[in-house]
A and B are shown apart, each in its own frame.
Chain A
């Protein structure tokens, strides 16, 4: 059995309406997540849905995809009324969704993931050969090449994204919903994704794209709908709008976008790494000085996470030497490193950076519980609470009380909590991974300002980000990692998107000169270009 293909172009012209939502209202206890939202998606278009964290984008998509029932409102697909009780109803109506966090089975193969719940069968058994064939066919047809027999858990994120899209195509989805699909992709991967999306749209499929990234929206979409506090505040034609207009609609105020911050004034070497090797990392040399931000750019899966984990003491070092303020910490435990002056914002704020079920106060105490908050092994609850109140105030975290569980915070607020907690250590060295992933524009600015202020207070910051605009805006120097090695190094002014992109893709054009530029010599000629 082969699932039906999309033959959208045959019945209606490209101007037909694929999805029409009218008056969708969804209430959660205490929140009106969607308030009479209208949304029209035409056939063959890429429609961007934007809004700050908590604006109601994911909720709206959940309603459309049958995961949540709306309290009010109607859904029409291809002109017909639809009542979705579950995602399978939505799938049957030709919808398909790629969720913000991938919904894949790590231990299964690519082919198994693609055909899951729509399997080609022989005598009731899964026809594996047919499944493999199907994956290859689809991959060729849409330029989404991936090995059908690979275990998904072993694939890099970019390829997992492809598996997600293959899943939808296998089911013949005519409308694809993607929730923040590029949050974890590098620019090159994102560009490849948009190429695929555009070709799908050209075939007559529709794409609904939820994202925080203005650049993508401007380059890739046809229409933009902006949500704020659960209401539609703008419907724009992409060709006729600007980044500023969208941003203003989202936040309700004018915002400065993609600022390039003034360079810092580097001082002593704080972190010195020589010849470091660990899993998937080879012979890394780098130095970070006080008063500077060193950015590490790279396609996910090229050793950045492993490098940072090794520096944070969560992964054993197999060779090389690491010093922090001239003290050897190569084999120190995570705790020792923290006591010697290291703070760390990890990439995954839900699974690693916080304990979602614990209170905000307890989450804010982590790390501080060993130093300022405790004496002689005691940790008075009152001081934990006081500390939390101080940080909530200082970093503008929106939490009703310090006692609510961290799950009650929105993604952006949770990230503020995490960054605030680590900044509050006042540690000479801060490791930050993907500080603004999935965070809205307003929160991004807040976080960027905090990082710059931290640098200017004379601390060293090592920033890992897949967001080139972020790296370029914040970093005083940029290193590129490729296949576990630092393959290129740029000064603030040299780091344009094109050459960074090339280096991330493995072009070793500048690999020659790293050892000298990586040692932290300041690039005084950098200009502030706000």
Chain B
């Protein structure tokens, strides 16, 4: 009974925040904005959702606030990279640093505590069939994103903007507008991911609680080639590897080995997928 329903549920829980954030990352990637600030945007979502839920007593308002706050936060990337043509990688890293500093700082000023804010009366998201509504939403989002990207007018334009912004511009499609939209939507999705983590997976806020999940989302975007279904598979792979890792500890594997497992599995998956691509599209031999 290694692969039981608990394992699946555990994998699904691990997957949801990563999937939501990675979908946002994929949209940005498609629009030609390299977004590695997912981690920071998620953390802002965590903090806002907990704060709002605490003061209003409503987890759903928390979710809403998280989406809005993370979207507002994502404006740093949009303005910096799109309008001011700054370097998206530097901005993303700065946003991750800023989110850690800012949420810790606010945790001290708002709640007067350090480290963790937790209270039994903090209301979390309800569970439906063992998962939060956001978990289902994440799956729906995959479908919507897939259809939008491949079939909808906006998706076509977004893909065009990402591939050749000046070509889009000459046809009257404003690349900046689409890039802004993609970044803001990724903000919303990361906000939801944060809310899922702080009000769904657990019901509390602790400093740096995203703990690298945003980076995994970045990797999932690459592994899934920025296609919604690909991203889903990548996140699923990661979720399963992590959940299986927890179980493997039970079988006596050292914690260090199970910690490393998801990364090794992901790397292996990357090898396999790129190897297949290399076989199907042989020798683009020119070094250039």
B164 and A125 contacting across the interface, CB-CB below 8 Å: no
B283 and A107 contacting across the interface, CB-CB below 8 Å: no
Q: Which residues of A, 78-122, contact B by the 8 Å Cβ criterion?
A: 86-88, 91, 97, 99, 102-108, 112, 116-119, 121
Check B151 for interface membership: any CB of A closer than 8 A: yes
The one of A87, A279, A314 in contact with B170, judged by C-beta atoms closer than 8 angstroms, is A87
Q: Which residues of B, 157-178, contact A by the 8 Å Cβ criterion?
A: 157, 159-160, 163-164, 166-174
Check B286 for interface membership: any CB of A closer than 8 A: yes
B151 neighbours in A (Cβ, 8 Å): 125-126
User: Once bound together, how far apart are the Cα atoms of A99 and B168, in whole Å?
Assistant: 12
Check B110 for interface membership: any CB of A closer than 8 A: no
B170 neighbours in A (Cβ, 8 Å): 65, 67, 87, 97, 99, 103
A108 and B159 contacting across the interface, CB-CB below 8 Å: yes
Chain A interface, >50% SS class: loop
A518 to chain B, nearest CB (A): 25
A108 neighbours in B (Cβ, 8 Å): 156, 159-160, 163
B84 neighbours in A (Cβ, 8 Å): none
Check A334 for interface membership: any CB of B closer than 8 A: yes
B285 and A105 contacting across the interface, CB-CB below 8 Å: no
Which residue among A91, A118, A125, A334 has the maximum number of chain B CB atoms within 10 Å of its CB? A125
B276 neighbours in A (Cβ, 8 Å): none
User: Once bound together, how far apart are the Cα atoms of A178 and B239, in whole Å?
Assistant: 53
The A/B interface has a contact count, at CB < 8 Å, of: 80
B153 and A315 contacting across the interface, CB-CB below 8 Å: no
The one of A67, A126, A167 in contact with B156, judged by C-beta atoms closer than 8 angstroms, is A126
B172 neighbours in A (Cβ, 8 Å): 86-88, 91, 117
A116 and B163 contacting across the interface, CB-CB below 8 Å: no
Residue of A with least CB distance to B287? A314
User: Once bound together, how far apart are the Cα atoms of A57 and B99, in whole Å?
Assistant: 49
B152 and A126 contacting across the interface, CB-CB below 8 Å: yes
Check B288 for interface membership: any CB of A closer than 8 A: yes
A116 and B173 contacting across the interface, CB-CB below 8 Å: yes
Check A161 for interface membership: any CB of B closer than 8 A: no
B164 neighbours in A (Cβ, 8 Å): 103-106
Q: What are the interface flags for A369-396 relative to B under an 8 Å C-beta threshold, 1 for contact and 0 otherwise?
A: 0000000000000000000000000000
A125 and B153 contacting across the interface, CB-CB below 8 Å: yes
B168 neighbours in A (Cβ, 8 Å): 105, 116-117
Check A316 for interface membership: any CB of B closer than 8 A: yes
User: Once bound together, how far apart are the Cα atoms of A88 and B157, in whole Å?
Assistant: 14
Q: Which residues of A, 424-465, contact B by the 8 Å Cβ criterion?
A: none
Check A221 for interface membership: any CB of B closer than 8 A: no
A222 to chain B, nearest CB (A): 26
Given A278-B285, A314-B288: A117 and B152 interface contact (C-beta under 8 Å): no
Q: What are the interface flags for A491-524 relative to B under an 8 Å C-beta threshold, 1 for contact and 0 otherwise?
A: 0000000000000000000000000000000000
A165 to chain B, nearest CB (A): 14
B163 and A105 contacting across the interface, CB-CB below 8 Å: yes
User: Once bound together, how far apart are the Cα atoms of A352 and B287, in whole Å?
Assistant: 11
A351 to chain B, nearest CB (A): 9
B160 neighbours in A (Cβ, 8 Å): 105, 108, 116-117
A334 and B173 contacting across the interface, CB-CB below 8 Å: no
B264 to chain A, nearest CB (A): 32
A352 and B159 contacting across the interface, CB-CB below 8 Å: no
B286 and A315 contacting across the interface, CB-CB below 8 Å: yes
User: Once bound together, how far apart are the Cα atoms of A112 and B160, in whole Å?
Assistant: 9
Given A103-B166, A106-B163, A125-B151: A91 and B171 interface contact (C-beta under 8 Å): yes
A315 and B166 contacting across the interface, CB-CB below 8 Å: no
B119 to chain A, nearest CB (A): 45
B167 and A124 contacting across the interface, CB-CB below 8 Å: no
A167 and B171 contacting across the interface, CB-CB below 8 Å: yes
Check A68 for interface membership: any CB of B closer than 8 A: no
User: Once bound together, how far apart are the Cα atoms of A126 and B163, in whole Å?
Assistant: 18
Residue of A with least CB distance to B152? A125
Given A125-B152, A278-B285, A334-B287: A116 and B169 interface contact (C-beta under 8 Å): no
B156 and A119 contacting across the interface, CB-CB below 8 Å: yes
User: Once bound together, how far apart are the Cα atoms of A65 and B166, in whole Å?
Assistant: 14
Residue of B with least CB distance to A351? B288
Q: Which residues of A, 134-151, contact B by the 8 Å Cβ criterion?
A: none
Check A309 for interface membership: any CB of B closer than 8 A: yes
User: Once bound together, how far apart are the Cα atoms of A87 and B285, in whole Å?
Assistant: 39
Given A119-B156, A121-B153, A125-B152: A315 and B167 interface contact (C-beta under 8 Å): no
B159 neighbours in A (Cβ, 8 Å): 105, 107-108
User: Once bound together, how far apart are the Cα atoms of A365 and B55, in whole Å?
Assistant: 65
B150 to chain A, nearest CB (A): 9
Residue of A with least CB distance to B284? A279
B177 to chain A, nearest CB (A): 11
The one of A104, A117, A125, A309 in contact with B173, judged by C-beta atoms closer than 8 angstroms, is A117
Q: What are the interface flags for B116-131 relative to A under an 8 Å C-beta threshold, 1 for contact and 0 otherwise?
A: 0000000000000000
User: Once bound together, how far apart are the Cα atoms of A497 and B283, in whole Å?
Assistant: 36
Given A117-B172, A125-B153: A279 and B166 interface contact (C-beta under 8 Å): no
A88 neighbours in B (Cβ, 8 Å): 171-172
A126 neighbours in B (Cβ, 8 Å): 151-153, 156
Q: Which residues of A, 331-362, contact B by the 8 Å Cβ criterion?
A: 334, 352
B168 to chain A, nearest CB (A): 7
B179 to chain A, nearest CB (A): 16
A116 and B156 contacting across the interface, CB-CB below 8 Å: yes
The one of B147, B173, B288 in contact with A352, judged by C-beta atoms closer than 8 angstroms, is B288
Residue of B with least CB distance to A119? B153
Q: What are the interface flags for A213-234 relative to B under an 8 Å C-beta threshold, 1 for contact and 0 otherwise?
A: 0000000000000000000000
Q: What are the interface flags for B26-56 relative to A under an 8 Å C-beta threshold, 1 for contact and 0 otherwise?
A: 0000000000000000000000000000000
A86 neighbours in B (Cβ, 8 Å): 172, 174
A-B contact pairs, 21 of them (CB 8 A): A67-B169, A67-B170, A86-B172, A87-B171, A87-B172, A91-B171, A99-B170, A104-B164, A104-B167, A108-B163, A112-B156, A116-B157, A116-B160, A116-B171, A116-B173, A117-B157, A118-B171, A125-B152, A126-B152, A309-B286, A315-B285
